[in-house]
Structure 1
Amino acid sequence: MSRRPSGRAGRIRSSLRLAAAAAVCSAVLGTSVQPAQAGSDRNPPPGTGLHQELRELVKRPDGPPGVIAVLRDGDHAEVYRAGVADVESGRPPRATDHMRIASVAKAFTGAVALGLVDRGRLHLDDTIGEVLPGQPAAWHRVTLRQLLHHTSGLPDYSASQGFFDIISEDPRHRFDSRHLLEFVADEDLEFRPGSRYQYSNSDNIAVALMAEAATGRRYESLLRELVYEPLGMDATSLPQGYRLPVPFLHGYQIDPEDGPVDVSEAFGASGAWAAGGIVSTPKDLTAFIRGYAGGALVSQRLRRQQFTFIPGALSQPPGPGRTEAGLAIYRYTTRCGAVYGHTGNTAGYTQLVAATADGRRSLTFSITTQTSLTNNPDLLARVREIQEDFVCALLHR
Structure 2
Amino acid sequence: MPLRSAPARPFRSRLRATCVIAICVAALCQAPTSTAAAPGSGADDLRGQLEQLVRAPGGPPGAIAVLQRDGVTRVVRAGVADLATGRPPQPGDHMRIASTAKAFSGAVALSLVDRHALRLDETIGRRLPRLPRAWHSVTLRQLLNHTSGLPDYTEDEEFRQILAADPRHHFDSRRLLDFVADRPLNFPPGTQYRYSNSDNIAVALMAEAATGTPYEQLLRILVYRPLGLRNTSLPQGYRMPEPYLHGYDVTTTPPEDVSEVFGVSGSWASGGIISTPADMTRFIRGYAGGALYGRNVVREQRRWIAGASEPAGPGANMAGLAIFRYATRCGVVLGHTGNFPGYTQLIAATPDGRRSLTFSVTTQINEAGNPDLVSRMRAVQENFVCALLNRSGH
* TM-score normalised by structure 1 residue count: 0.94
- Is 2:151 aligned against 1:155? yes
Kindly state the Cα deviation for residue 13 of structure 1 after the two structures are TM-superposed.
4.3
1:349·1:370 contact (CA, 8 Å) conserved in 2? yes
Alignment of 1:155-304 (within 5 A): 155-256=151-252, 258-304=253-299
1:35 is the counterpart of 2:29: no
Q: What CA RMSD, in Å, does the superposition of the two structures yield over aligned residues?
A: 1.1
Q: Could you tell me how far apart the structure 2 residues matched to 1:34 and 1:86 are?
A: 31
In the alignment, structure 1 segments of 5+ residues that lack a partner are: 1-8
Describe the shift of the 1:135–1:268 C-alpha distance in structure 2 as closer, same or farther (beyond 3 A): same
Q: Deviations over 1:30-60 (max 9, x none)?
A: 24x3322321xx4532111000011111112
1:375 aligns with 2:369: yes
Matched residues in 2 for 1:34 and 1:135: separation? 32
Aligned pair count reads: 380
Q: Secondary structure at the match of 1:352?
A: strand
8 Å CA contact retained: 2:15, 2:164? no
* Equivalent AA in structure 1 for residue 203 of structure 2: V
Q: Does 1:359 align with 2:353?
A: yes
CA distance in 2 between counterparts of 1:105 and 1:113 reads: 13
Residues 19 and 263 in structure 1, CA contact (< 8 A), matched pair in contact too? no
Q: Which stretch of the first structure deviates more once superposed, 378-387 or 214-223?
A: 378-387
Query: 2:35 & 2:77 partners in 1: Cα distance?
Result: 25
Shift of residue 319 of structure 1?
A: 0.8
Contact 2:149 2:186 in 1 (8 A): yes
The secondary structure found in structure 1 opposite 2:246 is: coil
Deviation for aligned residue 1:379: 1.1
User: Displacement of 1:19 after TM fit?
Assistant: 1.6
Q: Is the 8 A contact 2:14 2:164 kept in 1?
A: no
On the 8 A contact 2:35/2:375 being kept in 1, the answer is no
- Return the alpha-carbon distance in structure 1 between the equivalents of residues 39 and 305 of structure 2: 28
Give the counterpart letter for 1:383 in structure 2.
M
CA distance in 1, matches of 2:244, 2:39: 34
Deviation, structure 1 residue 259: 2.4
2:326 is aligned with 1:326:
no
For 1:293, give the aligned amino acid: A
Match for residue 113 of structure 2 among 117, 134, 138: 117
Secondary structure (helix, strand or coil) at the match of 2:344 reads: strand
Match of 1:323, as an amino acid?
Answer: N
Which of 114, 126, 132 aligns to 2:122? It is 126
Letter in 2 for 1:108: F
Aligned to 1:5: none
Aligned to 1:16: 17
In the alignment, residue 335 of structure 2 is paired with which amino acid? G
Aligned partner of 1:15: which letter?
A: R
What SS class does the counterpart of residue 255 from structure 1 fall into? Answer: coil
The 4+ residue runs of structure 1 with deviation greater than 6 A are none
Deviation for aligned residue 1:298: 1.4
Match of 1:389 in 2: 383
Q: Deviations over 1:315-346 (max 9, x none)?
A: 00001011000000000000000000000001
Shift of residue 135 of structure 1?
0.7
**How far apart in 2 are the matches of 1:36 and 1:55?**
22
CA distance in 2, matches of 1:64, 1:251: 9
Contact kept, 8 Å, 2:34 with 2:375, in 1: the verdict is: no
* Equivalent position SS for 1:290: helix
